């Protein structure tokens, strides 16, 4: 009986959990089925990768293998444990169970995980080369069909493939730019909060000044000064997005440094850096993580706006923003060119926002238990 259960978990991971009504089981089972179907359908490309592929393809292959291993591991480990009751105390400082009970956040997380997976697997997923053009006159403006599920654009390029490749660009920009913004914001904010006095006042007035510029105008100005390319767009988005974080961190540091446990750490003779890194910042970063999650969504939106204006990612590289822009003129005749990348933006930003909301609850160790 136990061996049969073990076998079932390895061959069809998540199936037993799904049968007993756990949504986590359904997700694992769905991922398992999807991964095997993909491997079967794209066997040719996988074999070609083994014979010598680009870095992109190797990354996709590594992701595929990792996920195929992860599914049974999840079924054997995580899904076997009994879900904790709402009344019990959380096991650690991060209340993941509170997150799991937050239904919208769970949906957002699943969407997000799927999105990241798709971005990594794009070389295998995409039916066509995103930039390939053949017999443009015959293949352009084709409506969605079996061959081109999301249709083709004015150059006969497959919209689905371009949306998939656009996911990589958008997510890369979102994550890297937000990482830059959070780093700068945390440094400025904790510096201001710890130094206090004139340093604090000066840096916060600087932040106020920067915040009073409309971000898009700032972005357009900065990008227009230089030749637009991906690295510049990421840098500019990162360097215009840190002010909110700086404010949050400063406020947190100001209040946390008066907490008794920080005073106790001082009385124990712990060093200034140790107190900052081990006692102040970990407690200050909760709202930063939430802000970062929401920030990724906003950054993707800002990149789309920049690309839409022609200042972001440059054609022919596909980004959701420049795809919407290129479909703008033919919206009434070929709606699919702008609609699908637009939908991708909406879904992505929405899932980041949902996850951000859920994290807000899960990261507060003293949060009231219950949904």
Partner 1 sequence: MSGPAPSPARAGEGPLLEVEGIARTYAAPGGAFRRRGEAIHAVRDVTFQLRRGETLALVGESGCGKSTTARIVLGLERPDAGTVRFDGADVHGLSGADLLSFRRRAQIVFQDPVGSLNPRIRVGEALGEPLRVHGVVPRERVAARVAGLLRRVGLDPEDADRYPHEFSGGQRQRIGIARALSVEPDLVVADEPVSALDVSVQAQVLNLLSDLQRDLGLTYLFIAHDLAVVRHVARRVAVMYMGRIVESGTCEALFERPLHPYTRALLEAVPRPRPGRRVRAPVRGEARAGAVPEAGCPFEPRCTHPERDAACRATLPPLEHKRPEGWARCIKTPAWRVVEEMGPPAGVADEPPA
Contact 293, 300 (CB under 8 A): no
Q: Is the Cβ of residue 259 or residue 329 nearer to partner 1 in the bound state?
A: 259
Selected from 220, 270, 289, 330, the binder of partner 1 by CB under 8 A is: 270
> Which residue's CB is nearer to partner 1, number 53 or number 287?
287
CB of 267 to partner 1, least distance (A): 5
Convert the chain into a string of H (helix), E (strand) and C (coil). CHHHHHHHHHHCCCHHHHHCCCHHHHHHHHHHHHHHHHHHHCHHHHHHHHCCCCHHHHHHHHHHHHHHHHHHHHHHCHHHCCCCCCCCCCCCCCCHHHHHHCHHHHHHHHHHHHHHHHHHHHHHHCCCCCCCCCCHHHHCCCCCCCCCCCCECCCCCEHHHHHHHHHHHHHHHHHHHHHHHHHHHHHHHHHHHHHCHHHHHHHHHHHHHHHCCCHHHHHHHHHHHCCCCHHHHHHHHHHCCCHHHHHHHHHHHHHHCCCHHHHHHHHCCCCHHHHHHHHHHHHHCHHHHHHHHHHHHHHHHHHHHHHHCCCCCCCCCCCHHHHHHHHCCCCCCCCHHHHHHHHHHHHHHHHHHHHHHHHHHHCCCCCCCCC
Q: Using the rule CB under 8 A, is 267 a contact of partner 1?
A: yes
Stretch that binds partner 1, among 3-11, 88-96, 131-139, 327-335 (CB under 8 A): 88-96
**Is residue 282 involved in binding partner 1 (CB under 8 A)?**
yes
Q: Which residues, numbered 12-51, are part of the site for partner 1 (CB under 8 A)?
A: none
For residue 362 the two structure tokens come to: 């899960």
Among 55, 89, 217, 332, binds partner 1 (CB under 8 A): 89
Of 226-265, binders to partner 1 (CB under 8 A) are 259-261, 263-265
Minimum CB–partner distance for residue 101 and partner 1 (Å):
18
Contact between 233 and 173 under an 8 Å Cβ cutoff? The reply is yes
Q: Given the complex with partner 1, which of 127 and 251 has the nearer CB atom?
A: 251
209 touches partner 1 (CB under 8 A): no
**Nearest approach, Cβ of residue 254 and partner 1 (Å):** 13
The contact mask relative to partner 1 for 92-131 (x = CB under 8 A, - = no) is xx--------------------------------------
For position 268 contacting partner 1 by CB under 8 A, the verdict is: yes
Instruction: Give the nearest distance from C-beta 90 to partner 1 in angstroms.
Output: 8
Is residue 276 a contact residue for partner 1 (CB under 8 A)?
Answer: no
Taking the complex as a whole, how short is the minimal distance between the CB of residue 204 and partner 1, in angstroms?
12
Provide the minimum distance between the beta carbon of 34 and partner 1 in the complex, in angstroms, as a whole number.
Answer: 37
Binding-site size for partner 1 (CB under 8 A) equals: 24
The answer to whether 365 contacts partner 1 (rule: CB under 8 A) is yes
Residues that bind partner 1 (CB under 8 A): 89-90, 92-93, 201, 259-261, 263-271, 274, 278-279, 282-283, 365-366
């Amino acid at each position: 009986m136990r061996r049969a259960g073990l076998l079932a978990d390895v061959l069809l991971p998540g199936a037993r959990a799904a049968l007993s009504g756990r949504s986590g089981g359904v997700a694992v089972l769905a991922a398992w089925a999807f991964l095997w179907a993909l491997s079967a359908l794209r066997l040719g490309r996988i074999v070609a990768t083994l014979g010598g592929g680009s870095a992109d393809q190797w990354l996709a292959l590594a992701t595929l293998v990792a996920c195929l291993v992860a599914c049974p591991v999840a079924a054997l480990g995580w899904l076997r444990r009994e879900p904790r009751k709402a009344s019990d105390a959380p096991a650690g400082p991060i209340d993941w169970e509170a997150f799991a009970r937050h239904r919208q956040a769970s949906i957002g997380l699943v969407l997000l995980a799927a999105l990241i997976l798709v971005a990594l697997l794009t070389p295998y997923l995409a039916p066509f080369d995103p930039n390939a053009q053949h017999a443009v006159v015959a293949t352009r403006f084709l409506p969605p069909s079996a061959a081109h599920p999301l249709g083709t654009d004015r150059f006969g390029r497959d919209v689905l493939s371009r949306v998939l490749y656009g996911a990589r660009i958008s997510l890369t920009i979102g994550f890297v730019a937000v990482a830059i913004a959070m780093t700068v914001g945390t440094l400025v904010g904790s510096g201001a909060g710890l130094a206090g006095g004139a340093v604090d006042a000066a840096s916060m007035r600087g932040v106020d000044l920067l915040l009073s510029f409309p971000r898009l105008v700032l972005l357009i100005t900065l990008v227009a000064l230089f030749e637009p390319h991906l690295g510049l767009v990421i840098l500019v988005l990162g360097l215009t997005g840190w002010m909110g974080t700086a404010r949050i961190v400063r406020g947190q540091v100001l209040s946390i440094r008066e907490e008794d446990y920080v005073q106790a750490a001082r009385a124990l003779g712990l060093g200034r850096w140790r107190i900052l890194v081990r006692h102040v910042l970990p407690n200050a970063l909760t709202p930063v993580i939430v802000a970062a999650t929401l920030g990724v969504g906003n950054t993707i939106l800002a990149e789309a706006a920049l690309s839409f204006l022609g200042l972001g990612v440059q054609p022919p590289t596909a980004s959701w923003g420049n795809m919407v822009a290129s479909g703008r003129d033919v919206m009434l005749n070929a709606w699919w060119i702008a609609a699908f990348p637009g939908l991708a933006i909406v879904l992505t930003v929405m899932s980041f926002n949902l996850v951000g909301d859920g994290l807000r609850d899960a990261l507060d160790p003293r949060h009231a238990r219950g949904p």
